[in-house]
Chains A and B, each alone.
Chain A
Amino acid sequence: MLKAVEINNITVKYPDVKALDNVSFVVNKGDFLGIIGPNGAGKSTLFDCMLGLNTKYKGTIKFFDQNIKKSKNYLKKLGYVPQKPIFEKNFPVTVTDVVRMGLKKESDENKIDEILQQLWIHELRDRRIGELSGGQQQRVFIAKALVNNPKILILDEPVTGIDQQSIDLFYSILRELNSKQKITIIWSSHDLDAVNQLANHVACLNRTLFFHGESEKFFSDDKLVKQYSEASMQEHMHHH
């Protein structure tokens, strides 16, 4: 199988905590990987490293067999949907304006309409981004991530604070992107059920990598799931 991403012995130390400790795994082309882990497990930190936003890590990260510290070219083949897209509420951009930002060439303008239709937000195209609901905004940011035809889509807890109906639509879109368009998806979540339903691979992260493999293997092993849940619960209590 062809490797899309290779994470090799990644360690990240912040002044107060070790956010990631010697994490290694491989994502193959076409995989739908769910990264699960409680708050503070290091999911966003790992994504920051993969996206080149954090370069202070030990270990190596390769995309398409290229070390990302050597070349930023891989970013062109990548779509990213952040955990919480931050922008000024009255920032004067429409849905179309936002999606256009993801476009690499001006000539691909009609890709915008196409992708807006695909994500059921075409009728919102001239509305300001700040006027939309959380679920609608999320779809706009997915459209922006997809408009450039990425090979890999990275989503950091994309459904935080979004209504159930939008979440269901969102998940069916992800499933289609992976099965029909063969886009490799790397997606972090703390919703075990959703990961069970959608992903074909799972990585359990809690500073260290606790499990990585096919999701069936994980979810059919009650002991593993229980171990994971207990570890997350403990983490949860630490934080409250």
Chain B
Amino acid sequence: MSLEILTFSFMHRALISGIAIAILCSVVGLFLVLRRYSLFGDAIAHSSFGGIALGLLAGVYPLWTAYGVSIASALIITKIKDRYNISGDASIAVLLSSGIAVGLVIIGLSGGFTIDIFSFLFGSILLVSVDDTILILALTGVILIVILILFRPILYSTFNEEQAKVSGVPVEKINYLIIFMAGITVVTSIQLVGVLLISALFVIPNVTAIMYGKGFKQTAIISMSFSIFSVVIGILISYIFDITPAGTIVLISIGLLAGTMGIKSSGLLSKN
């Protein structure tokens, strides 16, 4: 046992793509959490379920249809929300349930559940291929670069939309860009934790990091560190004890959150 697991190439792939996804989810998730859009990741993930089912039915690689369906429905629901003045949480509920409904109907049409569905629901990080790993790394790189380039307008419009507009930031375009990036991030991350636990990766490390009372960049770095820690330790522990990686990862990040709350209420994390 012990260190031997670090020599397996499937473990290398799992850890590399896991770390990339950890970074991606914590960065994109930070903006969603701050926009009070915490559950949006969940909603996109559920709509990707519809996309996956569609792919399985059509005989296309399900992740591709998941990307298409998730991004399209996220953008459409955002448009509808703005146009008809629907609240954020209600639009999330609509997106979430329609994705599942479409998925269920399609699965019904195709004659029932297949084993593939379960790996999409709960993740299958130990099964990622070389191609998957390359795709995950490439998407992570592109999204991080876009965020770095547009950092000021993205942060500014998250902080205060109206003031950002007055400073000439194209707020609507930035909003759609964030939704678009969230769509890509969610579908990419499905391989790690599956549809059902995706919002944990978006939300928990960020809620934890925000508690440390630091500025934006430090908060983002703390969040990334917690996220990477949870994913790496989660993958290793789950393999050693033969339990599900997704659940283990999320439980570790919840542990970090609980620990932070404990430190905070004990007064050790006093403010400046």
Closest approach, in angstroms, between the C-beta of A228 and any C-beta of chain B? 29
Q: Decide: A101 near B159, CB < 8 A? Known: A53-B165, A75-B166, A78-B166.
A: yes
Q: Decide: A101 near B155, CB < 8 A? Known: A53-B162, A72-B168, A87-B160.
A: yes
Q: Does B255 contact A (CB under 8 A)?
A: no
* Contact partners of A72 in chain B: CB under 8 A: 168
Number of interface residues of A (CB under 8 A): 30
Q: Is the CB of A85 within 8 A of B152?
A: no
Q: Does B176 contact A (CB under 8 A)?
A: no
What 0/1 pattern do residues 235 to 272 of B give for CB contact below 8 A with A?
00000000000000000000000000000000000011
Q: Is the CB of B213 within 8 A of A128?
A: yes
- Give the contacts of B162-178 with A (CB-CB under 8 A): 162-168
Q: Is the CB of B165 within 8 A of A93?
A: no
Number of interface residues of B (CB under 8 A): 23
Which one of B88-96, B97-105, B107-115, B214-222 is at the A interface?
Answer: B214-222
Nearest-neighbor residue (CB-CB) of A85 within chain B: B160
* Contact partners of B168 in chain A: CB under 8 A: 72, 75-76
Q: Does A14 contact B (CB under 8 A)?
A: no
Q: Does A94 contact B (CB under 8 A)?
A: yes
Q: Does B117 contact A (CB under 8 A)?
A: no
Q: Does B156 contact A (CB under 8 A)?
A: yes
**Whole-angstrom distance between the alpha carbons of A102 and B210 in the complex?**
23
Q: Decide: A92 near B160, CB < 8 A? Known: A75-B168, A126-B272.
A: no
* Contact partners of B159 in chain A: CB under 8 A: 87, 91, 93, 98, 101
CB<8 Å pairs between A and B, sample of 18:
A53-B165, A75-B168, A80-B166, A85-B160, A88-B34, A92-B209, A92-B213, A92-B215, A92-B219, A93-B216, A97-B216, A101-B155, A101-B164, A101-B167, A102-B167, A128-B215, A128-B271, A131-B213
Besides A92-B215, A94-B214, A106-B152, 20 other A-B contacts (C-beta < 8 A): A53-B166, A72-B168, A75-B166, A76-B168, A80-B163, A85-B163, A86-B160, A90-B210, A92-B210, A92-B216, A94-B215, A96-B215, A97-B216, A98-B159, A101-B159, A101-B163, A102-B167, A128-B213, A128-B214, A131-B272
